[in-house]
């Protein structure tokens, strides 16, 4: 790997978090390179415009732009996948033929056991690389319509991570700390990280409580509208997630820790913490459309997974499942069928033991019926 000043971090994605991450990397002295499938959001940057960051990260930088997934992988020392869950499979399919042995890939943030899909694809090429799954993003933010400006709402104090395969954990942690500093909590593997993304449960309560605002395109404060009843729903959803983690013997962050570490407010009830964020000017703005990733990403790629893990561990997540059913009825869609990653890894055909072993090794059990099954695995990783 090259010196810090020459280290290139290739970001697959060009949305809010991709821009905010590029700005944060520049602030820390690293060169970011962006690529996204359509290329539409990187046109201004490719034409020479500076990326301007305001808020929790302030500064101007010049991220490079790659014109293909192949170029991004070839020119980068480290890769980051920074698109919503519904884009993970497509981006992993585009990148995986080009990932080199040992080249770290950070999934920012991890969704739906996607690290397993990617690592199994690499194993089939005989390639082994540290795939680092993050429970949430390091930075939050909103891309502005001119596509040269990002408002960064927060730099989190702590992000939960794990590495697949597990024996590369030290490498995974080292690259994260080198890029972003000492802001990581290593959790006990991919099952823990899969239970550490709180956005699906939080966005479920927020979207249910404010659906008419979203549908009518209103501008509304998200934090202020985590009212006592919405806050209690979020806390109840959290207890379901924690019960699954407990059944698996795993320690994961609580919703109280999440808001404390992410938004720097003292621990209180979830409604009170959100009111404090609002008072601090950091409560965020809720979605102004029903076509929001709070539902279209978080229901199929978040709630569905937690509900399945609840079934597998004998700790039914009835509120999470109710969320899947209620949003499916509201939207006239079957969100349970929209998760392409779970089909591709064949989760429905796996036992809990098989899933836990795959989460450690990064290799899926052989199953020719799986949609992502891509032929024989090459034996032994290449170097
Ligand atoms: N924004 C925030 O503050 C936070 C975000 N997150 C999470 O971070 C992740 C990224 O969020 P954010 O940056 O806000 O999302 P955006 O909607 O801004 O991401 C847009 C990017 O995703 C790409 N994309 C969208 N759909 C697809 C698809 N089907 N296939 C391939 N690529 C696709 C777009 O490609 P193209 O450029 O081609 O249009 C674009 O580059 C999400 O998982 C989100 O839940 C978590 C916490 C906070
Ligand atoms: C809903 C909220 C504020 C908390 O999960 C979030 O979106 C985040 O952590 O970025």
Span from the CA of 298 to the centroid of ligand 1 (angstroms): 12
Q: Over the stretch 265-321, which tens digit does the pLDDT of each residue have?
A: 999 999 999 999 999 999 999 999 999 999 999 999 999 999 999 999 999 999 999
Distance of CA 113 to the CA centre of its chain: 11
Three-state DSSP at 197 gives coil
CA proximity to 78, closest of 9, 164, 6, 29: 9
Give the integer Cα–Cα distance in Å for 116 and 95.
Answer: 15
Per-residue burial over 221-255, b = 16 or more CB atoms within 10 Å of its CB, e = otherwise: ebbbbbeeebbebbbebbebbbebbeebebebbbb
Span from the CA of 135 to the centroid of ligand 2 (angstroms): 12
pLDDT of residue 382: 35
Give the integer Cα–Cα distance in Å for 85 and 9.
Answer: 20
- Backbone dihedral angles phi then psi of residue 302, each to the nearest 5 degrees: -125, -65
- To the nearest 10 degrees (0 to 180), the angle between helices 255-263 and 228-247 is 110
Which amino acid residue places its CA nearest to atom 44 of ligand 1?
84
Res 378 pLDDT > 50 = no
Which residue ranges have their beta carbon within 6 Å of ligand 1? 13-18, 36-38, 40-41, 82-87, 90-91, 109, 136-137, 140-141, 143, 199, 293, 297
> Does residue 262 have its Cβ closer than 6 Å to ligand 2?
yes
Task: Could you list the beta-strand ranges (E) of 158-275.
Answer: 159-164, 184-186
Q: Is the pTM of this model over 0.80?
A: yes
Place of tokens 């999470």: 320
Locate the ligand 1 atom nearest the alpha carbon of residue 91 and give its number: 31
Span from the CA of 382 to the centroid of ligand 1 (angstroms): 32
Q: Over the stretch 74-126, which tens digit does the pLDDT of each residue have?
A: 999 999 999 999 999 999 999 999 999 999 999 999 999 999 999 999 999 99
Give the C-alpha distances (Å, rounded to integers) separating 213 from 19, 220, 255, 353. 27, 7, 24, 43
Three-state DSSP at 269 gives coil
Strand 59-61 vs strand 51-55: parallel, antiparallel, or unpaired?
antiparallel
pLDDT of residue 368: 53
Three-state DSSP at 312 gives helix
Structure tokens at 132: 């680092």
Span from the CA of 199 to the centroid of ligand 2 (angstroms): 6
- Select from 10, 44, 83, 91 the residue to mutate for testing ligand 1; criterion: most ligand atoms less than 8 Å from CB: 83
- Select from 11, 12, 15 the residue to mutate for testing ligand 1; criterion: most ligand atoms less than 8 Å from CB: 15
Span from the CA of 353 to the centroid of ligand 1 (angstroms): 32
Whether the predicted interface score ipTM is above 0.95: yes
Structure tokens at 108: 């920012």
- 353: which residues sit within 8 A by CB, 6+ positions away? none
The total of other beta-carbon atoms located within 10 Å of residue 340's CB is 19
1 pLDDT band, cuts 50/70/90, is low
Residue ranges and CATH numbers for the domains of the chain are: 4-194 (3.40.50.720), 199-361 (1.10.1040.10)
> Does residue 300 have its Cβ closer than 6 Å to ligand 2?
no
Closest ligand (CA of 261) = 2
Give the integer Cα–Cα distance in Å for 192 and 194.
Answer: 5
* Rg of the chain (C-alpha set): 20
Span from the CA of 20 to the centroid of ligand 1 (angstroms): 12
């Amino acid at each position: 790997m090259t010196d810090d000043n020459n280290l290139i971090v290739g970001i697959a994605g060009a949305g809010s978090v991709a821009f905010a991450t590029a700005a944060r990397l520049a602030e820390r002295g690293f060169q970011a390179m962006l690529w996204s499938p359509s290329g539409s959001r990187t046109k201004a940057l490719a034409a020479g415009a500076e990326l301007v960051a305001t808020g929790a990260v302030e500064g101007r930088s010049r991220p490079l732009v790659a014109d293909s997934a192949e170029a991004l992988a070839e020119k980068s020392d480290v890769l980051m996948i920074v698109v919503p869950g519904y884009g993970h499979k497509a981006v992993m399919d585009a990148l995986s033929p080009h990932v080199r042995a040992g080249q770290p890939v950070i999934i920012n943030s991890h969704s739906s056991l996607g690290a397993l899909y990617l690592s199994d694809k690499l194993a089939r090429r005989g390639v082994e690389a540290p795939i680092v799954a993050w429970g949430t993003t390091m930075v939050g933010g909103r891309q502005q319509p001119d596509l040269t400006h990002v408002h960064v709402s927060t730099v989190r104090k702590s992000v939960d991570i794990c590495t697949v395969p597990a024996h590369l954990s030290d490498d995974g942690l080292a690259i994260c700390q080198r890029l972003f500093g000492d802001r990581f909590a290593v959790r006990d593997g991919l099952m823990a990280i899969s239970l550490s993304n709180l956005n699906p449960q939080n966005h479920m309560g927020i979207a249910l409580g404010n659906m008419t605002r979203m549908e009518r395109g209103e501008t509304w404060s998200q934090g202020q509208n985590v009212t006592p009843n919405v806050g209690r729903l979020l806390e109840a959803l959290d207890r379901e997630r924690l019960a699954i983690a407990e059944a698996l013997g795993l320690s994961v962050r609580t919703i109280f820790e999440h808001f404390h570490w992410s938004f720097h407010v003292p621990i209180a009830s979830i409604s009170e913490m959100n009111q404090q964020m609002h008072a601090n000017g950091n409560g965020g703005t809720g979605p102004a459309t029903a076509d929001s990733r709070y539902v279209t990403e978080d229901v199929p790629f978040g709630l569905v997974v937690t509900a399945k893990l609840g079934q597998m561990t004998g700790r039914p997540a009835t509120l999470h499942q109710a969320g899947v059913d209620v949003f499916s009825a509201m939207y006239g869609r079957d969100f349970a069928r929209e998760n392409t990653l779970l089909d591709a890894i064949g989760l429905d055909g796996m036992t809990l033991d098989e899933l836990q072993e795959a989460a450690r090794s990064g290799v899926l059990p052989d199953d020719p019926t799986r949609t992502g099954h891509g032929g024989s695995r090459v034996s032994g990783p290449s170097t």
